[in-house]
Amino acid sequence: MHGRARSDKIRGRSQVKGSAWTIIVASRLLLGVPFFPENTNTKNKLKYFHFQSHYRMARCSKCKTEAESLYRLDNMRSNFCQSCFIEHYEKKVKKTILKYRMFSGVRNLGVAVSGGKDSMALVRSLLNIFPNLNFTVLHLNLGIPEYSDACQALVQKFCQENSIEYITYDLKKVEGYSISDFATSKFGRRICGICGVVKRYLINKIALENNLDAVATGHNLDDTAELLFNQYITGALEDLVRNKPVLPSTHPKIVKKIKPLIEVTEQENLYYVLSTHTEHVDCECPLIKGSRMLKRKELLSKIEEEIPNFKHILFKTHVKRFLPILEKHFEAPALRECERCGMPSTNPVCSYCKLISKLRLPSSVSFPHH
């Protein structure tokens, strides 16, 4: 395969020869993974590919064997061959689950899967690490044109191929609206936050209706660091108390939430789905463009170029030092049941119902009810 010769400086450290497309195509063909769709954000994907050598042999940091292409982890300054990386990743996820006792008291587990690299890495790792674990995949079709249906098809295919029970929830069919409806409303500039409110509400509702004890999500270290960064600079102390690996149930209608990938980076998740030949949706959500969340993530990545492992340090400092202090001074708020839907809320009307009431919906749309 030929590409225009050039040198690209990746994250200010390593030099990778050959064109960007050469790196992507070669790596994906090598691993037997389908090529990126046409609407893939190439710039964002490229930053995850850090092959220590492209045209020369290099040595795996763990097994010391030589290979033509290795996975280079920025946060560890290490190179891994394919088999050693898979072992490293799964060991790390298992350690996180055991350290925070995530499965304690859990008999019926739900796994929220969108179809992206993070959630697909989560469900694949659970299958490999705990082969006897029974769980149900929960998937929300958000009604985003040319995106949501592809996500649903991919998740359903994976579940069928691996004999996993799954539940799909079509927002437009069941609730009468889609996330795209918010994008064209006055909420358009806050679409990621709006989407988060909707997903948290509905995933909890689905888990509750199906008698699940806990829901695992694919939140990774980059997600957590970005959220911590925003919460600290805005002084959102009550939200900081909830930013942790395990969110226990605080009400009979609130299902426990766990984050098995909270100490794993986006880079590691991408490497894992590629190395295990796990299909995933490569393109970004079309509604995310211009998101402040993305800008904060980019800023944190720049900081990490100068301060190695910065995101992990931020997370560990929060969990070990600040969180115990915050938990002493901020008690869980008293919960009541929402007057409209009956779900737990700190106010007479929950955030979800307030949001839906402000959206201009067709008269045929029904609101949540008891």
Q: Which pair of structure tokens corresponds to residue 366? A: 């029904």
3-state SS record for 98-148: HHCCCCCCCCCEEEECCCCHHHHHHHHHHHHHCCCCCEEEEEEECCCCCCH
pLDDT class of 161 with cuts at 50, 70, 90: very high
Q: pLDDT tens digits, residue range 252-287?
A: 999 999 999 999 999 999 999 999 999 999 888 888
pLDDT at 210 over 80: yes
pLDDT at 16 over 50: no
Q: Which two tokens stand for residue 83?
A: 């088999």
Give the pLDDT band of residue 189 (cuts 50, 70, 90): low
84, pLDDT greater than 60: yes
pLDDT category at 98 given cuts 50, 70, 90 is: very high
pLDDT for 231: 96
pLDDT at 188: 56
End-to-end CA distance of the chain: 60
Residue 286: what pLDDT? 80
Confidence check: pLDDT of 99 > 90 = yes
Say how many C-beta atoms besides its own lie within 10 A of residue 113's C-beta: 26
| Residue 91 neighbours by CB under 8 Å, 6+ apart | none
* Full-model pTM: 0.82
Query: Would you say residue 21 has pLDDT above 70?
Result: no
**Residue 236: pLDDT over 50:** yes
DSSP 3-state assignment of 306? Answer: helix
Distance separating alpha carbons of residues 57 and 65, to the nearest angstrom: 10
Considering the chain, what is the average pLDDT of its residues? 84
Contacts of 157 (CB under 8 A, 6+ apart): 279
Domains in the chain, ordered, with CATH?
7-82 (no CATH), 100-329 (3.40.50.620)
Percent share of the chain, pLDDT over 90: 63
pLDDT at 162 over 50: yes
Residue 125, CB-side half-sphere exposure with 13 Å CA sphere: 36
Q: What is the bridge-based pairing of β-strands 58-59 and 66-67?
A: antiparallel
Structure tokens given for 204? 């909890």
Instruction: Report percent pLDDT > 70 for the chain.
Output: 80
Q: What is the pLDDT of residue 207?
A: 98
* Tens digits of residue pLDDT in 25-51: 444 444 444 444 444 444 444 444 444
pLDDT tens, residue by residue, 307-347: 999 999 999 999 999 999 999 988 888 899 999 999 999 99
Is the per-residue pLDDT at 291 higher than 60?
yes
Residue 20, pLDDT > 90, answer no
Q: What is the pLDDT of residues 102-157, one digit of tens each?
A: 999 999 999 999 999 999 999 999 999 999 999 999 999 999 998 999 999 999 99
Confidence tier at 360 by pLDDT (50, 70, 90): low
